[in-house]
Amino acid sequence: MENSTHYEIFRLAAYGDIGQLKYFYFVVVTVLYVVIILANALLIGVICIERSLHEPMYLFLCALFVNQLYGSTGLFPALMFYLLSDTHDISLLYCYFQIYVLYTYAITEFCNLAVMSYDRCMSICYPLQYNNIMTPKRICGLILLPWVYSFFINAIVISLSLRLQFCANVLDRVYCDNYSVVKLACSNTTLNNISGLVVTVFSFSCTIFPTIYSYVRILQICLKSSKETRQKAFNTCMPHIASLLNFSFGCLFVILQGRYDTAHLPAILRTILLVYFLICPPLFNPLMYGARMVKIRQACKKVLGRYPKT
């Protein structure tokens, strides 16, 4: 083991010295956060209020929007604070807390998207048995399982990181992530690396493979069905596929920056790619689902119509 120091803080070096631009960035970030809160909260409220939307597909969407609010809150308040702050130090405890929130958000998001693909598969492939398959008990289980799994698995990951001793305390990030923290450790990180790999592979396998299988089954049914059925399947599946690709690319940007040297890229571009998975999906999904799904759009008009001033 190399000489280590008991650090109580980490320094988020990615903020750098941006001068007066910090006020511009602060306004942009604040506007984005307010839009994300309003858009997601609106659709959560509409789905909860309107009984016509108390169907599995919309309840799973509601869970997706709740998770997006949760993940955004893990980033934006801290980001807004550090943009205006003269120092960019983050306590060790809050750093681990932020890692826990952001990682549970990421895994829950992937799991929710996998659950939504399963729901679409059951709806399209087994329309007559759908109501018997998607019982209230199963719906509750499919909504709760991603949260329980992500909270439990990330508690293990964080507990392994808590034991580490560090040789440095400078993170080239605007937020804490576990991989960057582990790289600063002087103590043996073999267990952290193995557990991180196992969690990543297992979580990815349990979400992406069921999603692929669901869409293969949907494609098989569509090829044998009428043009009207294919169009209906396309309209319900396209928003989900777009959400999945959007979030997957965001996570890929983070993974690639952690594994490869991206110092040649402009600092602002590196930062945008790092926060993409925390900004674009929570901003993109409610706008897309609200615009493309007729029942949600009509329900929004109905609910907002009750409050003309709003």
pLDDT for the residue numbered 277: 92
The token duo for 307 is 């409050």
Q: Is 22 domain-assigned?
A: yes
Region 71-94: what's the mean pLDDT?
91
The phi, psi pair for 208, rounded to 5°, reads -75, -40
pLDDT for the residue numbered 138: 94
Q: For residue 73, what pLDDT band results from cuts at 50, 70 and 90? A: very high
Pairing of strands 89-91, 9-12: antiparallel
Greater confidence, 293 or 45?
A: 45
The phi, psi pair for 185, rounded to 5°, reads -75, 145
What percent of the chain is predicted at pLDDT more than 70?
Answer: 96
pLDDT tens figures, 16-49: 777 788 899 999 999 999 999 999 999 999 999 9
Neighbouring residues of 32: CB distance < 8 A, sequence distance ≥ 6: 76, 279, 283
Whole-angstrom Cα Rg for the chain: 21
- How many whole angstroms separate alpha carbon 27 and alpha carbon 203? 36
Nearest to 66 by CA among 31, 103, 37: 37
Q: Is 273 domain-assigned?
A: yes
Interior/surface letters 275-300, b for 16+ CB within 10 angstroms, e for the rest = bbbbbbbbbbbbebbbeebeebeebb
pLDDT tens figures, 230-272: 888 888 888 899 999 999 999 988 888 877 777 788 888 888 8
The token duo for 40 is 């997601």
Region 282-308: what's the mean pLDDT?
82
The token duo for 48 is 């909860």
For the chain, the first-to-last Cα distance in angstroms comes to: 61
Count CB atoms within 10 A of the CB of residue 121. 20
SS3 163: coil
* For residue 187, pLDDT beyond 60: yes
Residues 97, 103, 105, 110, Cα dihedral to 10°: -170
The boundaries of the domain holding residue 54 are: 9-304
CA dihedral (219, 225, 229, 231) positive or negative: positive
Q: Is 61 domain-assigned?
A: yes
pLDDT for the residue numbered 186: 85
The number of helices, as runs of H, and strands, as runs of E, in the chain is: 10, 3
SS3 282: helix
Give the up-direction half-sphere exposure of residue 131: CA atoms within 13 A in the CB hemisphere: 2
Q: Is 178 domain-assigned?
A: yes
Q: Is 114 domain-assigned?
A: yes
Highest mean pLDDT among 146-150, 205-209, 265-269, 290-294: 146-150
* For residue 306, pLDDT beyond 70: no
Greater confidence, 270 or 68?
A: 68
CATH number reported for the structural domain that contains residue 77 in this entry: 1.20.1070.10
pLDDT tens figures, 95-114: 999 999 999 999 999 999 99
Can you give the pTM of this predicted structure? 0.91
Region 8-18: what's the mean pLDDT?
84
Region 116-139: what's the mean pLDDT?
91
SS3 159: helix
The token duo for 205 is 């396998």
* For residue 206, pLDDT beyond 50: yes
pLDDT for the residue numbered 196: 86
The β-bridge partners of 171 are 12
Nearest to 177 by CA among 167, 191, 192, 187: 192
Q: Is 72 domain-assigned?
A: yes
* For residue 304, pLDDT beyond 80: no
Q: For residue 1, what pLDDT band results from cuts at 50, 70 and 90? A: very low
**What type of residue is 144?**
L
Whole-number mean pLDDT of the chain? Answer: 88
pLDDT for the residue numbered 5: 61
Q: Is 3 domain-assigned?
A: no
Region 75-84: what's the mean pLDDT?
92
Yes or no: say if 282 and 288 are a contact pair by the CB < 8 Å rule.
no
Q: Is 310 domain-assigned?
A: no
Q: For residue 308, what pLDDT band results from cuts at 50, 70 and 90? A: low
Total structural domains within the chain:
1
Place of tokens 């511009």: 24
